[in-house]
Amino acid sequence: MLDGDFFRRWLITAAEAVDREADRLTELDSAIGDADHGANLRRGFAAVTEALAGSEATAPGALLALAGRQLISKVGGASGPLYGTLLRTTGKTLGDADEVSRADLAQALRAGVDAVAKLGGAAPGDKTMLDALVPAADALATSFDAARAAADKGAEATIPLQARKGRASYLGERSIGHQDPGATSSALLVTALAETADAHQGSGGGV
């Protein structure tokens, strides 16, 4: 089972990954976006880390909702509302339980992904974060490692796509040949989740 400590460690691991990869995310965004994706997410997840340090919340759902609110309020552009909606909806779906199963998280994450799709009006194949998140949410029903592999594969699969949503869609065919930065940052979050699960199992916890 996954408790609040697991979710705190996931969010902190994700923040560390975003900070480490921020320049790469911005480089990807400079090709087909506004060249601010990495900097925006770095600022947002720094705020998440600070908020977690000052919060006494212990329920997984409450921690994810807290993180989502920080991203919505601190991150500019589209990524703040989208990532904030992802985490808030996932947290709301988990409810007030002190512990959740991987299956619970998979179901809740899928609800969060569906909320992102509704907010952004996008679908898999549009060259957005959904190209990583949808297969990852589906694969999480199997295992954390399967979710990580699916997210990575989905992000890489955006390279030959023409963007149909977001800033990149304005470029038309010129968006082809570039990996989507939102799908890439989504894969970072899923990788952080799998790494947290690996550490959890290594310390004797079940997933």
Question: Quick check: is 84 in a domain?
Answer: yes
Average pLDDT of span 27-33: 92
Q: Which residues does residue 3 pair with via DSSP β-bridges, in sequence order?
A: 99
For residue 18, the enclosing domain spans: 2-199
> pTM (2 decimals)?
0.94
Q: Is the pLDDT of residue 114 over 60?
A: yes
Please answer whether residues 87 and 68 qualify as being in contact, where contact means their C-beta atoms are separated by less than 8 angstroms. Answer: yes
Question: Quick check: is 204 in a domain?
Answer: no
Question: Quick check: is 67 in a domain?
Answer: yes
The whole-chain average pLDDT of the chain stands at 94
Q: Which residues does residue 26 pair with via DSSP β-bridges, in sequence order?
A: none
Q: Fill in the amino acid letter for 157.
A: A
Least confident stretch, 59-63, 153-157, 197-201: 197-201
Question: Quick check: is 133 in a domain?
Answer: yes
Question: What is the structure's pLDDT at 202?
Answer: 67
Question: Quick check: is 206 in a domain?
Answer: no
Q: How confident is the model at residue 206 (pLDDT cuts 50, 70, 90)?
A: low
Question: Quick check: is 190 in a domain?
Answer: yes
Q: Which residues does residue 100 pair with via DSSP β-bridges, in sequence order?
A: 2
Question: Quick check: is 82 in a domain?
Answer: yes
Segment 170-204, tens digit of pLDDT: 788 888 999 999 999 999 999 999 999 999 886 65
Question: Quick check: is 195 in a domain?
Answer: yes
Distance of CA 106 to the CA centre of its chain: 13
Number of domains in the chain: 1
Compute φ and ψ for 2, nearest 5 degrees.
-115, 120
Here the CATH number for the domain that contains residue 98 is 1.25.40.340
What 3 state SS string does the chain have?
CEEHHHHHHHHHHHHHHHHHHHHHHHHHHHHHCCCCHHHHHHHHHHHHHHHHHCCCCCCHHHHHHHHHHHHHHHCCCCHHHHHHHHHHHHHHHHCCCCEECHHHHHHHHHHHHHHHHHHHCCCCCCCCCHHHHHHHHHHCCCCHHHHHHHHHHHHHCCCCCCCCCCHHHHHHHHHCCCCCHHHHHHHHHHHHHHHHHHHHHHCCCCC
The rounded distance, in Å, linking the Cα atoms of 77 and 72 is 10
The residue behind tokens 């601010």 is 36
